[in-house]
Structures are given as structure tokens and as C-alpha cells.
Amino acid sequence: MTASPPSMEPGPAVLEICELCRSYGDLQAVDRVSFQVGPREIVGLLGPNGAGKTTTINMVLGVLQPTSGSIRIDRVDLASRRSQALDRTNFAAVYAPLPGNLTVRQNLRIFGMIYGVEGLARRIDEALELFELRDLGDTRCGVLSSGEQTRVSLAKAMLNRPHLLLLDEPTASLDPATARDIRRIIRDFADQGPGGVLWTSHNMHEVEAVCDRVLFLSRGRILLEGNPRTLPQEHGKESLDDLFVAVAREPLTLEGVEA
């Protein structure tokens, strides 16, 4: 499945990041990063381990405080109106499983109440159906397989129909067939609007299939940006995999690098 260019609705970006920085002593983990995610757009945030991807996402989630810079979600400033901004967002990652002592339904109900989801019982049933979890609704999350836990996390992430969906390696523990289905669901979510998606992955086939635009991070800064299906050729590489390796190993050899 190949992503088509997004049918962008007029209106403001769902995520606006401006001159975002995060330092740990002398280490600059994120260094003056600026970008937007538009409505109906899936943006891939790519780069090797330690490039600053997860740090950036954690700042958007309000888990980490930026050293400087600004984050706006649906035009709402995260620093001054945190609750209103985060109400518009949701998140899934393989390293953030839901409480294992609660059943799938219990987890979805609790998080649905936190997000103030209207018609919650119906919305839970829709999420269970969408992610093929109906038969697991009364099963404790702690005894699910890693792939099943991932699907529950994704069901939670889409429960409140967020305007900004943050996904950190969302299909890392899924088999190829299930991962393909999840990519379709997320693509449909973006296409139907009005939300946008910020997606990290080390799977370049997946990125090329689903993302409209990619940002390559290196040492905390955006090194490259563009269409994942044309960007490699623009920089003399045969594939997105080759471009990823170049960013990871030899970023200074790429054109357009700022000193």
C-alpha cells in the first residue's frame, strides 16, 4: 500500500513546533527544531537512536519540559494551556504498555473517562472491533502477547479521535499482516480528518508506504525534509534505507546540511 498525497483541508496546522530545544547539561538532545503537522497529514520523524525523536515526542506530550521554544496543538499553546492542548492529542508506543492488571475493556474505559469521551461504551465497542480485540475485551492486558498489547495501545490512542496522534514505533512488535492492517487504519484515520499524525519508525518500507512527508533528525537537528518517495534520489541514494544509513553514519556528506 502506498500513501497518496494528503487531501489537505484549509486551516491551521494540528501541530506547530518552533525553535524547540532540550538540553541535559552540555548535551543538546534537541536543537532548535521547527516543523508542522497539517490536517490529514502523516509526518514521519526519522533518525538513528539518540537523534532526538523520542525526546521531541515526550515534549509534545508534556512529559518533558523544553529548555526553550514553543509547541502549539490546534493553535493551543502547550506551555500556558496544557490541559486544553493535551485533550486534543493521544499516543501509543511499544514501551508504554497499559496497566497489566486491568482488562482491555477496563483500560479503555478508564482512559476514555480521562479524555472525556462521549458515548464511551459505544466508542469502546467500535475500537475493539476496529483493532480485532472483541474476543479479548475481558482479558487482562498483562497476559496478552506483545502484538495484542500493541493493538490495545493503538485502540486507546484513537479512542478520543485525537486531532494529533503521536505514534512511536507503533508496529514494531506486530507480524507483517497485522502491521499492514494497522498502517491502513492509521492512513484512514488521517484521510478522514481533521487530525494529523506524527510517526516514528525504523522500518523504511513502512514509512514510504504510509507517510506523506518525513523529517530526518541527526544529533538533535532536522537534517533533511521531504517526500519519502523522492527524497532519496534528491540526495543521490537509491532507497530510503540507504538514506537512513547515510544520516546515521555520515550525516555531513549529505547536501543541505547546515553547519
3-state secondary structure of 136: helix
Give bridge partners of residue 140 from the DSSP assignment: 103
- Per-residue pLDDT of the chain (259 residues), as tens digits, is 444 444 444 568 999 999 999 999 999 999 999 999 999 999 999 999 889 999 999 999 999 999 999 999 999 999 999 999 999 999 998 788 899 999 999 999 999 999 999 999 999 999 999 999 999 999 999 999 988 999 999 999 999 999 999 999 888 878 999 999 999 999 999 999 889 999 999 999 999 999 999 999 999 999 999 999 999 999 999 999 999 999 988 776 675 544 3
Q: Which three cell numbers stand for residue 85?
A: 492542548
Provide the whole-model pTM.
Answer: 0.89
Among 257, 18, 56, which Cα is nearest to 166's? 56
Enter the DSSP assignment of 158: T
pLDDT at 249: 86
Cell 493551543, located at residue: 76
3-state secondary structure of 237: coil
- d(CA 220, CA 242) in angstroms, rounded, equals 20
- d(CA 254, CA 32) in angstroms, rounded, equals 19
pLDDT at 170: 87
Q: Which residues make Cβ contacts (< 8 Å) with residue 61, sequence separation at least 6?
A: 86, 89, 91, 166
Helix runs in 115-239, H state only: 120-130, 146-157, 176-192, 204-210, 231-234
The residue type found at 130 is: L
pLDDT at 70: 97
- d(CA 160, CA 189) in angstroms, rounded, equals 12
Q: Which three cell numbers stand for residue 236?
A: 543521490
Among 92, 72, 86, which Cα is nearest to 185's? 92
The residue type found at 102 is: L
Q: Which residue segments constitute the domains of the chain, with CATH numbers given?
A: 15-88+164-253 (3.40.50.300), 99-161 (no CATH)
First-to-final CA distance of the chain:
37
pLDDT at 52: 93
CA 20 from chain centre, in angstroms, equals: 17
3-state secondary structure of 107: helix
Give bridge partners of residue 73 from the DSSP assignment: 15, 76
Count CA atoms closer than 13 A to 168's CA, side-chain side. Answer: 18
pLDDT at 1: 45
- d(CA 214, CA 46) in angstroms, rounded, equals 7
239 conformational bin, left if phi > 0, alpha if psi -120 to 50, beta if neither? beta
